[in-house]
Structure formats: C-alpha cells, structure tokens
Amino acid sequence: MKKRGITLLLVLALLAGVLPAHAAEASGPKLAAITFDDGPGPYTNSLLDGLEQRGVAVTFFMLGCQAAQYPAVVKRAYEAGHQIASHTYSHPQLTQLGSKSVQKQLADTAAVLNQATGTRNTYMVRPPYGSVNAHVLSLLNAPAVLWTVDTLDWQSRNADAIYQHIVNDTKDGSIVLLHDIYATTVSGALRGIDALLAQGYELVTVSELLRRRGYDAAPGRKYSSAPGRVTLPGIAQPAIAADEREDGRYVTLTADAGTAIYYTLDGTAPTSQSAVYTGPFLLEKAGTVKAFAAYSLNGARSQVSELALEEPRLKAPVITLANESAVITANGDIHYTLDGTEPTAASECYTGPVPLPAGTIIRAAAMRPGYQDSPVSSLLHSERGNLFSDVLPTAAYYHAVDEAVSLGVLAAEGQAFFPERPVTRQELAEVLYRLDGRAAGLQILNGYEEDAAGLDAPVTREGLAAALFQIWGEAPDDSRPPTKLYGFADWMDIHIEAWDAMDWVVANGVLNGVSETVLAPRSAVTRGQLASILMRSQGFWAGAEALA
C-alpha cells in the first residue's frame, strides 16, 4: 500500500514534468493585465497618453455614469486598442440587488459604452467591491473579472506606494487592480508598468490574457488571474503585399487565422470603423496601406502595419508591324517618336498605324493620369527587314546584328536580340558549329582560369579569340608582322596561352581594342559585340560551311 502510494507520486511527478503549464512557466513570456476601475475621469486622458508612449494596452472597467460624462475618452481608449469593460452604472453591490436591477445596471452601462464607441459589444463585468455570487454570475452575458493584485491606490493616494504594490505583488498571470480617478494612480501605475516591462512582462488586456492562456472566457465564469498553462502567441501584425497582375496591382493582407483585418488606404490610422479585409483588392493609385488585426475589436489589436505604394506603372506598349506600319496597343495614351529618342508627353500622339519603312525605328510609351509612365517600347524595322525591340540604330553593333541575323549566324528570340547579354560558352559553341562543323571538336569551352567554369559561363574576349584562331588561324611564322599587342596598356592581362590567338585576331582586324589603348582581354563578350566580331571575320568563315 505504501509502496504503491510512492509509485503514484512518482508518476504524477513525471507527468508534471511534461505538462505544458510547467513548460510555459519555465520558458514562455510572463503575462499580466493592468486594469482601471471607476473611471473614466479627469485623469484618464493623461493615463492614455502615458500608455500610448509605452505601447501598452490595458482594461478599463468603466462606470456607466462616468462614461456618460466622458464619451470622447471612452472612444479614444477603445480606438487605442484598450479593452472597454463594465463596472456597472452606479457602483451598487450587485449581490444585494434583484435580478431586474442587476440587469438594468449592466444594460444601461453597455448602452452608454456602445454609444460612445459606435459599436455593439458585450462587456466583461467587474462587480463593484468584488461582490459576486452564483445568482449574479447567472445574469451576466460575459465573464466576471476580479483581481489578483490590489494596489490599494484608493486608500494610499500615494504614487510610491502604488508603484511598490505593482512591482512587489505582480506575478505571471496577475490581474492588477487600479482606479484611474486619482492623479497619484496615473503616475504610480505608469512607473509600475515601466518596471514590469523592464522585468520582461508582456502587459495585455484581460481578454487577451485569458485568450493567450487558453481560457474560454464564457459568460458567467469568474476570473481573478490567469496563471501559466499554455501561452499562445500575441496577435501578429498583418503582412501587406502588393503584386502586379494582368489587370492591375493587387494588395493582399494576411494575419493570424481567426482575426479580422481593419485597414485604410489614405494614410490615416485604421479604426474600428475602417474597411474590413475580405480578399485581395485592386489599388490603382498611389496610397499608404495601414492595417491591424484583431480577434475582437474590444479585446486587443495588433500593432499597425504600413506599406507605402507609389502610383502603379503602366505596362510597356506592345508594338507589331503590319503592312509596313507600326500598330501599338497600350492601357493609356500612347506617345511615340520616329527619330530614336525617348518619347515624352510632348511627343506625337498615337491615333492609328504609323508607316514604318525598313531602316526606321518607332519608340512608344503609355501615359495616363494617376499612373507612372510605362517603360519605353521600341520596334526597329531594320534595313534588312528584321524586327528588333531592343536594338537602336545608333548602336555600334546595329549593322552587324542586322547582318548576322539575316545570315542566320545569330538568332533573335522573337523581336528581342539581347545585344547586351554576355555570350555563354554553350552559345558560342553552337554559333561556331553552325559556321564550321570542325568547331565541334575544339577545346574552346575551357577557360584559362583555374575555376573550370561551366557551359553557362561567359566567354571572355581572349577566349573568343582563341576559339576563332583554333578554327581559322595560321600557325605563326617569321613572315608575320611584329605584334601590335604591346600597343595596348593592358597587354599583360593576356593569358600566355591566348597570346598567339590575340595577336592573330588583332593583326587581322577581327578584334579591336575597346579603346585606342585598352584591349580588355578578360572582359565578357556581349551578343552585340559577338555579332560585330563575327561579321568582321566573314572573310575566314564565309563559304566554309553552308549556314543552317
């Protein structure tokens, strides 16, 4: 018998070790609820100022008769995210009243609070003097809330004593009783709040304290504290995201499941009267989205999230060629130029197809009030009849690109040639194989660096020279003219393995310096540059192989 008792104790001890309550006490945040009775009064506004500075939400158990005198203060406290609760209308001892009178005390108070906040809420009740019994509880449509810590502020009227009570008596899960009708309470409470925050307490409303500790806060229940069992997380700030879709820019708000999100778009602080989020919405103008989340507006609110959004940008116009004319579509007014310059609002306005003979370029942008101008779209109808969206006739490589595409040496992707994109080793191997099947066996894909870069690594200028030299170059002999490489200030950058190749391409005018004195052997080759180099080396490859 005795032995069995010990075993049972041991089992209980082991169980206690794994209960969530134990874990929460050990590692979860310490929570406490600060509450104020008998107001609002002449000091409540300065208390609200102090709470706002500290970002702390509390619970006000208001008297109906006081709330009726200070409706603006009630509204302010509510919109600041404090919990509004009832302390009856005129502070009677409820246990000494009949049912009808109890209900009238509560209904009259709720009416005043609803009127002041512009809502229809149910309000937790703190019975005056803590005087409550089963009969009174049975008449409530919300929980009754008593307290853990009595600061005796009404008695001492001494800020230091109030502060000491708060600091010495508050424990995890405590509900702290104060009265915001004394100036001494306001200063003592704010100092006490600072001390609790410094000790790591999270100060929350009563409703939030019960929720986070897993209590259901049902009508007729009585709570005087919420010690650690589980501790649920606080209410997360909503996440605000904006994304461009086919028909415009959409704003998406996300927050904890079970919360409602209240938001504004004009930069003002969201309130209980603000729009409630129901799903992604179009925001076709500039605006600042501000939002908070709440399980119940009269419980606790998350911090406000904010995202400033510029005016949405119009999509780039789409330009196609039909019957030798440019046809442009866009979601706004279209302005265009035919001289290669960037279009502005002062440029020609598009009203219908614009003749675009070979050798001309049209550039267009869409504009519309309330939107940012679109990016500029271009369509170059080249001299050889090719269409390019990203080649300007002023570019050094224009004629070479036009020729290379017409010859099938290089290909555009639709109307895009990507002239500034670096050429990869894979891409160069394919181009050279098309020009000369022998290129398939070359070692052109190996760089000179030790990194053994892959097929998608960019080709350097000396790497390209080496490839061309391996296919079409001749072995150097004594009849070759003296090298021109020493004329470039950066000749020392040439890898020794690439020297003969560089010497050959420069001597034959296939590769020139990027300036009079700079050869830049290790810079990447762009597709525009590759077109120029290949067209200059046509004398070597033309006719070597039929182009695919």
Catalytic positions: 37, 179
Sketch the per residue contact string, 72 through 111, with Zn ion: x for CB under 5 A, - otherwise: ----------------------------------------
Radius of gyration of the CA atoms of the chain, in A: 39
Residue 129 Cβ vs Zn ion, minimum distance, rounded to whole Å: 7
Nearer residue to Zn ion within complex by CB, 38 or 172: 38
Nearer residue to Zn ion within complex by CB, 110 or 465: 110
Closest chain position to Zn ion (CB): 37
CB 62 within 8 A of CB 89: no
Angle, helices 71-79 vs 99-117, to 10°: value is: 70
- Which helix or strand (DSSP H or E) is residue 242 part of? strand 239-245
Residue 113 Cβ vs Zn ion, minimum distance, rounded to whole Å: 16
CB 24 within 8 A of CB 229: yes
Nearer residue to Zn ion within complex by CB, 133 or 341: 133
46, 168, 62: which is closest to 105 by C-alpha?
62
Nearer residue to Zn ion within complex by CB, 137 or 327: 137
Nearer residue to Zn ion within complex by CB, 83 or 374: 83
CB 80 within 8 A of CB 104: no
Tokens of 313: 């940008």
Under the binding rule (CB under 5 A), the answer on residue 38 touching Zn ion is: yes
Residue 91 Cβ vs Zn ion, minimum distance, rounded to whole Å: 6
Query: How many chain residues bind Zn ion (CB under 5 A)?
Result: 3
**Which amino acid is it at 377?**
S
Name the one residue in this structure whose structure tokens are 């049912």.
Answer: 99
Sketch the per residue contact string, 432 through 471, with Zn ion: x for CB under 5 A, - otherwise: ----------------------------------------
> Considering only 125-133, 180-188, 272-280, 369-377, which stretch makes contact with Zn ion by CB under 5 A?
125-133
CB 210 within 8 A of CB 275: no
232, 260, 195: which is closest to 56 by C-alpha?
195
Residue 108 Cβ vs Zn ion, minimum distance, rounded to whole Å: 16
Residue 128 Cβ vs Zn ion, minimum distance, rounded to whole Å: 5
- Which helix or strand (DSSP H or E) is residue 188 part of? helix 183-198
Which residues does 449 contact at the CB level (< 8 Å), separation at least 6?
Answer: none
First to last CA, the chain: 97
> Considering only 38-46, 148-156, 193-201, 300-308, which stretch makes contact with Zn ion by CB under 5 A?
38-46
CB 207 within 8 A of CB 83: yes
Nearer residue to Zn ion within complex by CB, 35 or 526: 35
CB 172 within 8 A of CB 25: yes
Under the binding rule (CB under 5 A), the answer on residue 180 touching Zn ion is: no
> Considering only 123-131, 276-284, 314-322, 368-376, which stretch makes contact with Zn ion by CB under 5 A?
123-131
Residue 63 Cβ vs Zn ion, minimum distance, rounded to whole Å: 7
One residue of 33, 34, 37, 48 binding Zn ion per CB under 5 A: 37
Residue 269 Cβ vs Zn ion, minimum distance, rounded to whole Å: 32
Nearer residue to Zn ion within complex by CB, 28 or 64: 64
CA distance 310 to 523: 38
Per residue in 321-360, is it b (16+ CB within 10 Å) or e — as a string? beeeebbbebebebbbbbeeeebeeebeebeeebebeeeb
CB 238 within 8 A of CB 302: yes
Give residues in contact with Zn ion (CB under 5 A): 37-38, 128
